[in-house]
Amino acid sequence: MAIENVISRAIVQNFSTKFQENLIVDAAIVGGGPSGLVAAKYLADAGFRAAVFERKLAPGGGTWGGGMLFNEVVVQQDALGILDDFKIDYAEINDAPGYYTLDSVEMASGLIFGAMKAGAKIFNSVSVEDIVFKDRQVAGLVINWTPVERLAMHVDPLTVMAAAVLDGTGHPSEIMQLAINKAGVKLDTETGGILGEKPMWADKGEVSTVANTLEYYPGLFASGMAANNVRGGYRMGPIFGGMLMSGKKAAGLIAAKLSKP
Ligand code: 48F
């Protein structure tokens, strides 16, 4: 067989196997930002089948660009254990004990690598355009290739069934919005809807990111900025400890729910 055929066949066969193995998952994570990637790693570590669906070619979300393209980010002491689990380096800020800087490219690549090495699968250039909603439960995702979405091609999507769906889509909370708009669900918030993100207040935002990481509807969880948008939390800029801890909390909530008999 010509080497050209060997290459093409190997890619098509391996992708097909990987895709088929992830058409039914324990946790479908929408968005490969920091909170989604951290959730994926800890779920995979705990033995759950976790798949991340990321719209962009490169997962990592808002981590790559640091602050205003200065490719450094800050984390606080409480999140260091997570960086250690991913083997990502950091250094304490001289005049701000308890706060650390790290290279944003190392963080993005480290989170991606760590999630994959734990056994999570990442499907990049895949956009989630809808949810599967059955028996008053969020039961899966409707997906299509991002180029199909971007070019508005009239191509039907495919589906992934999941026991739990995590909205890790960042500021717009796209999956929560879809659940409200298309399934008419009431989320577990004061109004039943999305309260909307508040302006920047870094320390409050860090706390609320973790506090707002919750199951908002049976089968539907939110992490990171998506969680803050749903429950009216503050934004925080390029400090990422809250995002990492939110991902770990989301993994714990999902694992607890899926482990119930
Ligand atoms: O926004 P993002 O990095 O998510 P996060 O985990 O972290 C937020 C921080 O990066 C930063 C911040 C810290 O101060 O505020 O913004 O909350 O990543 C979200 C990812 O989800 C993808 C999107 O491309 C991005 O990589 N995404 C969004 N909608 C969809 C999606 C969708 N419908 N389908 C697939 N991926």
Each residue's pLDDT tens digit, 73-113: 999 999 999 999 999 999 999 999 999 999 999 999 999 99
User: Using CB atoms within 10 A of its CB, is residue 241 exposed (0-12), middle (13-18) or buried (19+)?
Assistant: buried
Tell me if residue 169 falls in helix, strand or coil: coil
User: Which of the listed residues 30, 169, 239 should we mutate to test ligand 1's pocket, taking the one with most ligand atoms within 8 A of CB?
Assistant: 169
pLDDT of amino acid 260:
81
CA of 169 to the centre of ligand 1 (A): 4
Is the whole-model pTM more than 0.95? yes
Rounded-to-integer distance, Cα 126 and Cα 60, Å = 14
pLDDT of 113-159, one tens digit each?
999 999 999 999 999 999 999 999 999 999 999 999 999 999 999 99
Tell me if residue 248 falls in helix, strand or coil: helix
pLDDT of amino acid 168:
99
CA of 95 to the centre of ligand 1 (A): 31
Rounded-to-integer distance, Cα 190 and Cα 203, Å = 23
Q: How far does CA 87 lie from the centroid of its chain?
A: 19
CB atoms within 10 A of CB 161: 13
pLDDT of amino acid 236:
97
In 22-169, alpha helices (H): 34-45, 80-86, 104-118, 146-150
pLDDT of amino acid 43:
98
Q: Which positions ≥6 away from 98 have C-beta within 8 Å? A: 76, 77, 92
Whether the per-residue pLDDT at 261 is higher than 80: the answer is no
User: Which of the listed residues 37, 55, 63 should we mutate to test ligand 1's pocket, taking the one with most ligand atoms within 8 A of CB?
Assistant: 55
**Percent of the chain at pLDDT exceeding 90:** 99
